[in-house]
Chains A and B, each alone.
Chain A
Amino acid sequence: MDVRLQISMVFHLDKCIGCHTCSIACKNVWTDRKGAEYMWWNNVETKPGTGYPTKWEDQSKYNGGWEKQENGKPELKMGNRASKLINIFHNPSLPKMDDYYEPFTYKYEDLFDSPEGADQPTARPISMVTGKFMDIEAGPNWDDDLGGSPVYGENDPNFKGLTPEEQQELFDVERLVFFYLPRICNHCLNPACVAACPSGAIYKRGEDGIVLINQEVCRGWRMCVTACPYKKTYYNWSTGKSEKCILCFPRLETGQAPACFHSCVGRIRYLGGILYDADRLVDALKVDDDKLVEAHRDIILDPRDPVVREKAKENGIDERTLEACERSPVYRYVKEWKMALPLHSEFRTLPMLFYVPPLLPVMAKTDDGVYETANEELFSPIEKARLPIKYLASLFSAGNTGQVSYALKKQYAVRLFKRLETVGDVTKEVVEHALAECGMDAAEAEAVYRLTSLPTMDERVVIPPMHREEAMAMLDDDMWEQKGSAGFGFREAPVRGA
């Protein structure tokens, strides 16, 4: 057993209101620089939809992530080392700028400087790349935010398993359905970007599992951009280097929540430490797609288990860190309650950002032209949910509908449980049946309710003490030499060709 710590996250999609405050917070802190205008380290997508960059989930186009070989071992879908070498000067699977979107601003000064005339002055859009006037054709999450056509919704890659009728129903009047999917770097346990980097510039921090790109080593080959199936590494065209979400590690190290977590209006974001067994990581990747979620969950270890604690301490994980892991909301959602699921685990990167799938609202129906919202039951059962289970399973459990159903049923049972308590218009039998169906007792239902609806900031974000000094000691370097020679780090701005 090789116990390691990972800062892990849960996004509760049932609470996300799609306000993009997280995206703006991140943009203002990290990516409002030249060359980074088009980057959204945090973005919010409307689902069904094609996301950002367009159709990023379709790996037949982008060749991201891992593929299981016949011997069970994963191989990068973009190809082995030889093909990487052949393609090193021409990476053929990169998203084009148009697939992200051409970043734009407006020529606002025209509003003030225009001479008086018969017409109101307008601010024409200008490209932030070329500085010239442009026609805006797309943006991140274009249709829902600005565009308004059905094109992007209809082309969602997760529709693959659905019949044309099922797909059509999703866009019917009165049936139309959507939810939001906020995305940041998953800080995966088996990061494809790290494996793909020819320069060895990307690394997963040993002490907390944050995946970072060393800006001094990066040579801008952009293999990580192709390799990351979530398209969460971005190439900065100004510095000539790639960048990605750093999980606001300077904030984490000082005990503050990352900017997107801190600013989340819907309070959907949870962060905490998770212990996992690195020895079993390879085995977890050998299973078939439909068992991936379970295998992923299996390598997460119980921080209360004395054996685990013992092994953790052997690996230099501090007692106070273990205490923080015990309080980790992520551990509860993912491991204890099994309600949070990884996004697209079939990419086999073992993402450490988990999502509680959305329990969408009551289904209405039109009967002879009469709009009917009433149902035999108070909440429509999840089998009749507006979004087919199959669709959610394609997103969150590599097609395994059982995992998604379970997570939804649990949310459903908790709602009934609280309804009985606060309103009392459901029968006890119904509630008990619902709880029993997902093997939950009243105490657990209450706990799920509290952490979902009433958590404080300290309950949502439990940052293990970072112990930077101990993290340094975990490295093989001589700590004292490091102290004497580290200097001030690099102080010059990263400049292309420097």
Chain B
Amino acid sequence: MRTVMREQFRQSRAGEIAIRWYLTILLVIAGTLFAADRARGQDDGAKLFETRCYSCHNIGGGDKQGPDLKGVTERQSREWIEEFVKSPSAMRSKDPVAAELFKRFSPTIMPDQTLSPSELDSIISLIKNLTSKNETFVPSGAKLSRAIVPADIVAGKELFAGEIRLANGAPSCNSCHSVNGIGALGGGTLGPDLTAVNIKYRDPELISILQAPNFPTMNTIFTNHKLTDEEVVQLFAYLQNAKQLNPTAAVVPTQAAATTDPGFLILGFAAATLVLVGLNIFWRKRSHGVRKEMVRRSRI
């Protein structure tokens, strides 16, 4: 990790404040790295909340993609919370409170979470603690490693489109996501369109997602292939800018749209037909059988 950091240090343009930043980055990375371990070992609720919940929830800061969790422990039993967190969709059909929540935050659906009982306990104790003190949760890690410069927007776009590979081997963003105006055919449709993502999430939330995405699909990929701090800065800069370039774009819910774009399907069929027609033209002189044709002609 230190070698990687040194690499990035050399690439950093802010030379004069490099050492200070270097230390900060080191601390942030170390913090994030240790977060998981410490959460498992020492039940550090704050770190857990930041990496696993903060992108959609807050404590005391008001509703985000999901409801404010302040006082949730007073409203619901621990069993209810545990069951809900394990599979929100399953709760929806059997619990009226859950159904009401889904309705309120529609169309966003909370993904299933994999939290151990001790992890859940530490998060619950954090919520209880902050609720009783009437404090708002303040994330400690969700900060950019350096200030954004205009060049980051271009670099972020290149990262998003896969023109530059992500350093730790993760697939580029546009394999699953799209942003208006990227690529001839747009990006992937597995994940939501990210054009208006900076309206949907506030800055620290977006940064926290970039640092450690906690969506089931992304989680499995990015746990072992984290974005580097530099990439986080560049992608953040690009996504923040994307909305300004496309002011009319709508906010797309977190869950991927279930239906496929019919235009793309038609394009696929058209391309396949074109290929078949092309092959037919290329091999137009192929043998179609000699005898049958000869006999047929003789009978005329």
- A residues contacting B by CB (< 8 A) are 50, 53-55, 58, 61-62, 87, 90, 92-96, 98-99, 138, 149, 151, 154-155
Contact = CB atoms under 8 A, between A and B. Distances in A.
Given A61-B290, A96-B287, 14 more contacts: A50-B291, A54-B290, A54-B291, A54-B294, A55-B290, A61-B287, A62-B287, A62-B290, A95-B290, A96-B289, A98-B291, A151-B294, A151-B295, A154-B298
B285 interface: yes
Contacts, number: 46
Contacts of A53: 290-291
Contact of B289 (A58, A98, A149): A98
B264 interface: no
Nearest to A58: B290
A92 B290 contact: no
A154 B295 CA distance: 11
A50 B294 contact: yes
25 contacts: A50-B291, A50-B294, A53-B291, A54-B294, A55-B290, A55-B291, A58-B290, A62-B290, A87-B283, A90-B283, A92-B283, A92-B285, A93-B286, A95-B287, A96-B287, A96-B289, A96-B290, A98-B289, A98-B291, A99-B289, A99-B290, A149-B298, A151-B294, A151-B295, A151-B298
Contacts of B2: none
Contacts of B298: 149, 151, 154-155
A155 B290 CA distance: 11
A58 B291 CA distance: 12
Contacts of B299: 151
Nearest to A155: B294
Interface of A is mostly: loop
A22 to B, nearest CB: 24
A213 to B, nearest CB: 22
Contacts of A151: 294-295, 298-299
B13 interface: no
A54 B294 CA distance: 9
B291 A138 contact: yes
B102 to A, nearest CB: 53
Nearest to A142: B291
B292 interface: yes
A-B pairs, top 7 by smallest CB distance, nearest first, are A92-B286, A54-B291, A96-B289, A151-B298, A99-B290, A54-B290, A99-B291
A458 to B, nearest CB: 42
Nearest to A101: B291
B287 A94 contact: yes
A58 B293 CA distance: 14
B288 to A, nearest CB: 8
Nearest to A54: B291
Contacts of B286: 90, 92-93
B285 to A, nearest CB: 6
Nearest to B282: A86
B287 A93 contact: yes
Contacts of A98: 289, 291-292
A162 to B, nearest CB: 17
Contacts of A155: 294, 298
Contacts of B291: 50, 53-55, 96, 98-99, 138
Nearest to A226: B287
Nearest to A94: B287
A55 B292 contact: no
Interface centre among B285, B290, B299, by most A CB within 10 Å?
B290
| Residue in B283, B289, B290, B291 whose Cβ sees the most chain A Cβ within 10 Å | B291
Interface string B258-300: 0000000000000000000000000101110111101100110
A87 B283 CA distance: 9
Contacts of A138: 291
Contacts of B294: 50, 54-55, 151, 155
Contacts of A87: 283
A305 to B, nearest CB: 46
Interface string B189-205: 00000000000000000
Contacts of A90: 283, 286
Contacts of A149: 298
A95 B286 CA distance: 10
Nearest to B294: A155
B294 to A, nearest CB: 5
Interface in B103-117: none
A138 B295 CA distance: 10
Contact of A92 (B287, B289, B292, B295): B287
Contacts of B287: 61-62, 92-96
A483 to B, nearest CB: 47
A16 B298 CA distance: 29
A58 B295 CA distance: 16
A138 B294 CA distance: 12
A96 B286 CA distance: 11
A58 B286 CA distance: 15
A53 B294 CA distance: 13
Q: Indicate the member of B285, B295, B298, B299 with the most A CB atoms within 10 Å.
A: B295
A149 B294 CA distance: 13
Interface string B99-142: 00000000000000000000000000000000000000000000
Nearest to B283: A92
B50 to A, nearest CB: 55
Contacts of A58: 290
A155 B293 CA distance: 11
Nearest to A61: B290
Interface in B151-178: none
B101 to A, nearest CB: 57
